[in-house]
Amino acid sequence: MPAKLRDVAQKAGVSIKTVSRVVNRQGEISEATRQRVLAAIADLKYRPSKVARALVTQRSDTIGLVLGDITNPFFPEVARGVLDIAEPRGFNVFLCNSDGDPQREVRILESLLDHGVDGIIIFPSFGIEETLMGMVTPQQPAVVVNRPFVGPGVSAVMMQTQRGAQLAVNRLIAQGHRAIAMLAGQALGMERLQRVQGYRAALAAHGLPTLDEWIVAGPPILNRGRESTHALLSRYPQITAIFAYNDLLALGAIEACRELGRRVPEDCAIVGFDDIPLANMVAPALTTIRINKYDLGRQAMNRLLEMLAQPERTFAPYWADVELIVRASA
């Protein structure tokens, strides 16, 4: 049976309130009684119940992190960023996978709110928008990733995906390339769209045409990158550079170039996207775009803490860093 406030008070010969005051460092207390209380706390190994406190303060020092799937390599670093800010502030974080299923996401949000979380960080599914807005309040606010919401109880953290794609293509153009193809992946959703748009925008900004035949769709996996590159380079030998939707495709492209006797980057420069760990292990090492996922998580948690501290204020979206990592392949 763990010790309670009352036990400590009894042992120290003071009232419950006095103990509460020393535990929470509030109000003024004579040093003598403070020491007596502290001693009693140590003796009894007393630990205040956050559950009881939460019931009265309506603050649990708890938040929910709702993401697609922690198994997707994108998310662990984000989670780590969130946790690294949360932990030193005494916050614990509930982790939940939505799998992009709006119904499941609603259940998760309800459960989180029932548990009395102080706030939520969420990578929302499509179509969840209005429901989400109906659930959050300035008392239990949400930080939403990649949806430009601003309002009471909601705030946005955005990724500069399109800008990242532009950085990648600009690099190729700066290296003198004019015939630049894209391995475009095939996933639905905003992510792919923004990467392709960035590619188009960069070309357009330099007065270069976009040829639809040079934008190759297909699953974003290694072998597919290899095959697509084979097809692309044999059909359009004038291509001297490739921007890939992700690093896996880019690695496939490198392999294809090797098989075709094209040197990378001399005969064909290649830029990827994501900066997966392998990007730095292959030869030639891959030039790529890094989304600072860790920073994204940190910023989201910091934002949530600000919202908790200033419930009345509204916050402009935060734009997470994106960075060109120059290695050997371009």
Partner DNA sequence: CTGAAAGCGCTTACAG
Q: Which residues bind its own copies (CB under 8 A)?
A: 47-52, 54-55, 60-62, 64-65, 69-71, 73, 75-77, 79-80, 83-84, 87, 90, 92-97, 108, 110-116, 221-223, 248, 278, 281-283
Nearer of residues 75 and 214 to its own copies, judged by Cβ: 75
Minimum Å gap between C-beta 97 and its own copies is 6
DSSP string, 20-34: HHHHTT-S---HHHH
- Name the amino acid, one letter, at 17: K
CA distance 294 to 210: 34
| Distant-in-sequence, close-in-space partners of 41: CB < 8 Å, separation ≥ 6 | 8, 19, 22, 23
Q: Out of its own copies, DNA, none, which partner does residue 4 contact, by CB within 5 to 8 A per kind?
A: DNA
Q: How far is the CB of 39 from DNA (least distance, A)?
A: 14
Kindly list the residues in this chain that would bind DNA in the complex (CB under 7 A). 4-6, 14-18, 20-21, 23-24, 27-30, 32-33, 46-49, 52-53, 55-58
Of the pair 47, 263, the CB lying nearest DNA is at 47
Q: Could you tell me the smallest distance in angstroms from the CB atom of residue 291 to DNA?
A: 40
**Cα gap 78→95, rounded to integer Å:** 12
Short-list 178, 185, 226, CA closest to 206:
178
Spatial distance between the Cα atoms of 68 and 186, rounded to a whole number of angstroms: 18
| Residue 270: Cβ within 10 Å count | 30
Closest approach, Cβ 305 to DNA, in A, equals: 18
Q: Which is closer to DNA, CB of 56 or CB of 316?
A: 56
Pick between residue 31 and residue 130 the one whose CB is nearest to DNA: 31
96 binds, among DNA, its own copies, none (CB under 5 to 8 A by kind): its own copies
Residue 73 interacts with, from its own copies, DNA, none (CB under 5-8 Å by kind): its own copies
What is 198-260 written as a DSSP string?
HHHHHHHHTT----GGGEEE--SSHHHHHHHHHHHHHH-TT--EEEESSHHHHHHHHHHHHHH
For DNA, give the closer residue by CB, 20 or 131. Answer: 20
Separation CA 201–CA 195 (nearest Å): 10
